[in-house]
Structure 1
Amino acid sequence: MAPQDSLLFKVRRCEAELVRPAKPTPRKYKRLSDLDDREGLRFLIPAIQFYRGDSTGRDPVRTIREGLANALVFYYPFAGRLREWPGRKLVVDCNGEGVAFVEAEADVTLDQFGDALHPPFPCLEELLFNIPGPFSVLDSPLLLIQVTRLKCGGFVFAVHLNHTMSDAMGLVQFLKAVGEMARGANGPSVLPVWQRELLDARDPPRVTCTHREFDQVADSKRTLIRLDDMDYRSFIFGPDQMSTLRNGLPPHQRTSSRFEILTACLWRCRTIALQHDPEEEVRLLCIVNARTKFDPPLPAGYYGNAYAFPAAVTSAGKLCQNPLGYALELVKKAKAQVTEEYMRSLADLLVIRGRSRVREVWSFMVSDTTKAGFGDVDFGWGKAMYGGPATGALGADPTFSSMFILFRNWQGETSIVVTVCLPAPVMQRFVQELDALLKGPPATTARNKKSPFLISSM
């Protein structure tokens, strides 16, 4: 099979159409929560699903279009448009205008993508529809969907979501509802719950917790990473790699979660590779799903943004000179900050500061999508061969973040794919650090001698 990173193909798109709810829906305005309409979420997040075909001859485009229209009866806010009220408060005008939908065909088979399906994907811009021109959070479809038939009978489902509407968990909840309706259900098994007021600021707002992720620090040392000569790679961490990392920790830390260990590993190796001034303050932002942090927990059908990104903060010198266990303890302490009170305080802070953005100078954000359930979305052709983020980056700056993505090979074995984007010279040092930590051979750019855990680059 052809290597994924050298695959080229063409996609023929039909004109975009608007898919509206299959039945009349309420016409009203619905406010987003104070966690939803923060400044840092006013962009599109892309997700993509790959499916094998079957012998039934069903058309995935028609099936999914019908399932989508039926699901929008229940999730009718997605068919609306965002408006801005005084104070830049975002609300959904539930006017039933519909979501953007594109039918397409590609002259490629699923097998031609190679042995592994994972970011970075070849010709992604061909599979993922976007409205031409500058993005506007207002007056635009809240979902942009493209279904692309493949030569083999399989298909690709790709979606852009306006992030103010939902996080990854909320998007998957909606996609599962589309799948259930496409398979003939009369309604979703999990009914949607709006109730965005559950995550609004208190009255009056009061910041009761420390939120180091919002520290305002001037970039006096020109520390922002330039976005030229970038190297974007994916790395795989299977049982062998995780065992090596775990066994390298002190016995009392070996029960730490896979997310905690991998996050600490990436943060430390990345910081070493960037060659910071030892006194420079660096921070890690780890995204934490807060749905179960409330008492009682948020309703099962809640599909708004319900996460925090607590910060672990230290100096570059301490992070690089101490063993991995030092970074690991910082990650665990950061995660433990997220409580119901922390979430209340976060909403209050965002209102007081005017939807403040997180600090990006020498920050590194990590998101774990392995438990979101993208791969379990079934439109009638079974589970996805790959389901998850399309790019492996959060926001416009790919150097700021990494994602953990569930990876299944063709034999059904699961591992974690980690996406990393860095300037080329920094990436070389990053790979060397990972190689040394995993006791692998020296890193090289030669394709036949690349790191055992490097699975693709673009």
Structure 2
Amino acid sequence: MGFTVTKISEGYVRPAEPTPPGSLNLDWIGRYPTHRGLVDSLHIFKYGKDPAGVIRKALARALVHYYPIAGRIVQPEGCEPRIECTGDGVWFVAASADCSLADVNYLERPMMLGQNDILPYTELETSPANTLVMIQVTEFTCGGFVMGLRTNHAFADGLGSAQVISAIGDLARGLPEPIVKPVWNRDSSPNPKIKPAPLPDLPKLALEYSAVDFPTRYLNQLKKQYKVHSNGKWCSTFDIIIAKVWQCRTRAIYSDPDVNIRLCFFASTRHILKIDKGYCGNSIFPVKVLATSGKINTLSVVEIVDLIKEAKDQMATDVQKWANDEFEVDPFSMTFNYETIYISDWTKLGFSEVDYGWGVPVYCGPFTNNDYIASCILLKAPVPFEGTRLIARCVSKEHIDAFNKRVNQFD
């Protein structure tokens, strides 16, 4: 059965009060070529009373505090890109679906509504790459709603974007001002002179989608195994899951033991650089783990955790080296090929705790359809499941069955 989403109203929401003019520099990471673009995500709520109206009003008030996101990214000839605080506003769409969330299986894959139905798009002259935030609130017949969110990575990383959305939630619940005040000072973020590497070639990998829910009991079991293995040391859920995924993927793909493979993820540097709480920008650094396929194929999950933790321990030194402009080669340069897998952790960004007055979302996560990066994303599992969800686009059709069989073994 086909369902229809009707876009009831759309337009720019501007700050509720006058805001300062001027410019805001993008930080070094925000100016990086691969970060200039919108990150799409879906945030699903079981109930809301006039959610579009409430969120629209709260957004206008939030823009008084977070006024740069009502501006646009500009790049005059011969200059670095920056945010011009124009007050033009955030593109906002109110929509209505003729079905319940249950009818479309809470937007689980395979999707029963199209991307254009639930994410905000504008046909106006402003380029999406120059906008900072776009929002669509779609109400369903069951009383639930979905926020389709598009945020520009040039402006902020996941923590910064979640901070903005949390501020809207604070004001929607009736608070007089956001709990976390924004910090715009770009001086606290490193600005090394090293030039970004050129954009890498983007291969067409034809990657298959899969989703895995890791039970808490299984994760705790592996954490206990690691504690024994390491003589009492601690490891995180993130460490366990990405070690398991890397092992399963490698065993599913490679029989040749001499293939050089990589595991990559970005980690927050706020604690290392002592960035002020409330910093609304990018403060991340790439962590890269290199090994041969033969090595990963023969190691246990807890032994692979050792490799991951060693790379994480090295990060503080590398961040300071980068901040002091001591790298000869750009540490942010990326390789996009089948031998490299990228991991993103959404479990601690703050999106899952956003409350507009009717409770936190039953599910939220990125909306991805790319075929050029082998990637996995960790999310809080949807209610009522307890555990961690993994969304993967990391193997081709010929390897998907072997990967799924291995990654779903929880004994």
State whether TM-score is above 0.5. Answer: yes
User: Among 18, 28, 32, which residue is 1:34 paired with?
Assistant: 28
- Conserved in 1, the CA contact under 8 Å of 2:31 and 2:81? yes
Which string of whole-angstrom CA distances, capped at 9 and with x for unpartnered residues, describes residues 172-200 of structure 1?
Answer: 11111111122222211111001122113
Give 1:120 deviation, angstroms.
Answer: 6.4
Counterpart residue number, 1:453: none
Counterpart residue number, 1:265: 244
User: Among 37, 40, 45, which residue is 1:46 paired with?
Assistant: 40
Query: Given residue 164 of structure 1, which amino acid in structure 2 is its aligned partner?
Result: A
Report whether the alignment pairs 1:236 with 2:213: yes
Residue-pair matches, total: 405
Query: Given residue 407 of structure 1, which amino acid in structure 2 is its aligned partner?
Result: A
Give 1:348 deviation, angstroms.
Answer: 6.5
Gaps of 5+ in 2: none
Gaps of 5+ in 1: 1-6, 208-213, 440-458
Counterpart residue number, 1:432: 405
- Conserved in 2, the CA contact under 8 Å of 1:38 and 1:355? no
Which string of whole-angstrom CA distances, capped at 9 and with x for unpartnered residues, describes residues 9-29 of structure 1?
Answer: 221113530111111111101
Which string of whole-angstrom CA distances, capped at 9 and with x for unpartnered residues, describes residues 105-138 of structure 1?
Answer: 0012123344x77666542512112345999565
The CA distance in 2 between the partners of 1:357 and 1:51, in whole Å, is 37
Give 1:414 deviation, angstroms.
Answer: 2.4
Compared with structure 1, are the counterparts of its residues 398 and 187 closer, same or farther at alpha carbon in structure 2 (3 Å cutoff)? farther
Report whether the alignment pairs 1:104 with 2:95: yes
1:69-108 matched pairs, under 5 angstroms: 69-85=60-76, 89-108=80-99
Counterpart residue number, 1:18: 12
Which string of whole-angstrom CA distances, capped at 9 and with x for unpartnered residues, describes residues 201-227 of structure 1?
Answer: 24xx479xxxxxx999x99xxxx8643
The CA distance in 2 between the partners of 1:363 and 1:267, in whole Å, is 10
1:85-164 matched pairs, under 5 angstroms: 85=76, 89-114=80-105, 121-125=111-115, 126-131=117-122, 136=127, 140-164=130-154
Which string of whole-angstrom CA distances, capped at 9 and with x for unpartnered residues, describes residues 307-347 of structure 1?
Answer: 112101111121112333332111111111222x5334335
Counterpart residue number, 1:333: 310
Counterpart residue number, 2:205: 227
Q: TM-score, normalised by structure 1?
A: 0.80
The CA distance in 2 between the partners of 1:417 and 1:36, in whole Å, is 28
Report whether the alignment pairs 1:342 with 2:318: yes
Counterpart residue number, 2:366: 389
- Conserved in 1, the CA contact under 8 Å of 2:90 and 2:133? yes
Counterpart residue number, 1:364: 341
Counterpart residue number, 1:454: none
Counterpart residue number, 2:180: 190
Deviating beyond 6 angstroms after TM superposition, the runs of 4 or more aligned structure 1 residues are 348-355
Compared with structure 1, are the counterparts of its residues 15 and 176 closer, same or farther at alpha carbon in structure 2 (3 Å cutoff)? same
The CA distance in 2 between the partners of 1:303 and 1:18, in whole Å, is 22
Query: Given residue 360 of structure 1, which amino acid in structure 2 is its aligned partner?
Result: F
- Conserved in 1, the CA contact under 8 Å of 2:197 and 2:330? no
Greater Cα shift, 127-136 or 9-18? 127-136
Give 1:402 deviation, angstroms.
Answer: 0.8
Counterpart residue number, 2:265: 286
Query: Given residue 78 of structure 1, which amino acid in structure 2 is its aligned partner?
Result: I
User: Among 162, 166, 172, which residue is 1:172 paired with?
Assistant: 162
Which string of whole-angstrom CA distances, capped at 9 and with x for unpartnered residues, describes residues 140-196 of structure 1?
Answer: 321111001110122111110111111111111111111112222221111100112
The CA distance in 2 between the partners of 1:133 and 1:357, in whole Å, is 34
Give % identity. 29
- Conserved in 2, the CA contact under 8 Å of 1:39 and 1:356? no
Greater Cα shift, 23-32 or 423-432? 423-432
SS in 2 for 1:278: coil
SS in 1 for 2:159: helix
Q: TM-score, normalised by structure 2?
A: 0.88
Give 1:349 deviation, angstroms.
Answer: 6.3
- Conserved in 1, the CA contact under 8 Å of 2:226 and 2:234? no
SS in 2 for 1:193: coil
- Conserved in 1, the CA contact under 8 Å of 2:226 and 2:235? no
Query: Given residue 280 of structure 2, which amino acid in structure 1 is its aligned partner?
Result: Y
- Conserved in 2, the CA contact under 8 Å of 1:263 and 1:366? yes
Counterpart residue number, 1:419: 391
SS in 1 for 2:315: coil
> CA RMSD, aligned part only?
3.1
- Conserved in 2, the CA contact under 8 Å of 1:71 and 1:188? yes
SS in 2 for 1:300: coil
The CA distance in 2 between the partners of 1:107 and 1:356, in whole Å, is 45
Query: Given residue 156 of structure 2, which amino acid in structure 1 is its aligned partner?
Result: S
